Amino acid sequence: MGADQHFDWAANARSVLDWWRDAGVDVLVGDEPRDWLAKAPPPPRPADATAAPVVAAPALPDTLDAFLAWRVGEDAPEGARPGAVMAEGDPASATAVVVDFGGEDGLVGGQAGALFDRMLAAIGLSRESIYLIGLTTARPLGDRLPPEMLPRLGPLARHHLSLVAPDRLLLLGQAVSRAIGGTDGGVDQGNLQPVNLNGSEISVVSSLHPRFLLKQPAMKAEAWKDLQLLMGGSR
């Protein structure tokens, strides 16, 4: 009991009451129940608050040389990367071909590239006589383009094509079809469809990538029909 003789009970009580008052307790018993654990509502938005300004995307270069330089620079979606692969062949060709991506040996290399060369030769074309571009300049992980990248890469490929203005276009692979088709939902295989590229309408055929044909040789007959359709034959 000796220590209790020096304890200031009144001061201690005042300290406790001050703590509860700072915590928001202003009455001993309220008229209405209150949930002290409920989250406070968000503060009202100031009446004079204005939305953040919308920054317009920079205009893409309007010449082929400038666009190609921009496409492998820091501002491109993939950024500046060594060994970027994006375009091969003759930009003045009447026939353009779009694939998804390339690698160290070009846009379509290896066994798929050898098959691609034979496909072109079957319709009287070669790599030198077409304009071949890829959706992306960098080979993606797992050799598969993420679907969320297609809405970004598609408009860039369409702009690229509008600068060279081919008469006909061959799309190889589903990812390419979806990216170039954009809001139209892609380009269906087996049909000759018109696609508008910045005011110019060109004929487009979607077909199977040689990479897929190596795994599914039975589909080569369908790819051959697509190539005939591209060059003006009947399916």
In a domain, 62, yes or no: no
Q: What is the DSSP letter of 31?
A: S
The CA-to-CA distance between both ends of the chain, in Å, stands at 107
Average the pLDDT over each of 1-5, 35-39, 77-81, 190-194 and give the range with the smallest value: 1-5
What is the rounded radius of gyration, in angstroms, for the C-alpha atoms of the chain?
32
13 pLDDT exceeds 90? no
State how far the alpha carbon of 221 is from the alpha carbons of 15, 90, 207, 213, 218, in Å.
Answer: 89, 28, 11, 10, 7
In a domain, 120, yes or no: yes
Write out the residue range of the structural domain in which residue 219 sits: 85-230
In a domain, 32, yes or no: no
Confidence band for 235, pLDDT divided at 50, 70 and 90? very low
In a domain, 3, yes or no: no
94 pLDDT exceeds 80? yes
Average pLDDT over the chain, rounded to an integer: 82
Confidence band for 80, pLDDT divided at 50, 70 and 90? confident
**CA 173/CA 1 separation, integer angstroms:** 90
Confidence band for 19, pLDDT divided at 50, 70 and 90? low
State how far the alpha carbon of 139 is from the alpha carbons of 83, 87, 142, 201, 230, in Å.
Answer: 10, 14, 9, 30, 27
Helix, strand, coil content of the chain in percent (nearest 5):
40, 15, 45
Total tally of structural domains belonging to the chain? 1
The kind and range of the H/E element at 37 are none
In a domain, 94, yes or no: yes
Q: What are 193-228's pLDDT values in tens digits?
A: 888 877 778 889 999 999 999 999 999 999 999 999
Beta carbons within 8 Å of 135's beta carbon, 6+ residues apart: 98, 99, 100, 101, 145, 150, 153, 154, 156, 157, 175, 176, 179
**CA 201/CA 103 separation, integer angstroms:** 31
CATH number at residue 211: 3.40.470.10
Q: What are 58-69's pLDDT values in tens digits?
A: 689 999 999 999
**CA 206/CA 97 separation, integer angstroms:** 10
In a domain, 190, yes or no: yes
In a domain, 66, yes or no: no
Q: What are 155-194's pLDDT values in tens digits?
A: 999 999 999 999 999 999 999 999 987 655 556 677 788 8
Residue 153, class by beta-carbon neighbours within 10 Å (0-12 exposed, 13-18 middle, 19+ buried)? buried
Residue 46: per-residue pLDDT: 60
In a domain, 112, yes or no: yes
The pTM score is 0.72
**CA 65/CA 71 separation, integer angstroms:** 10
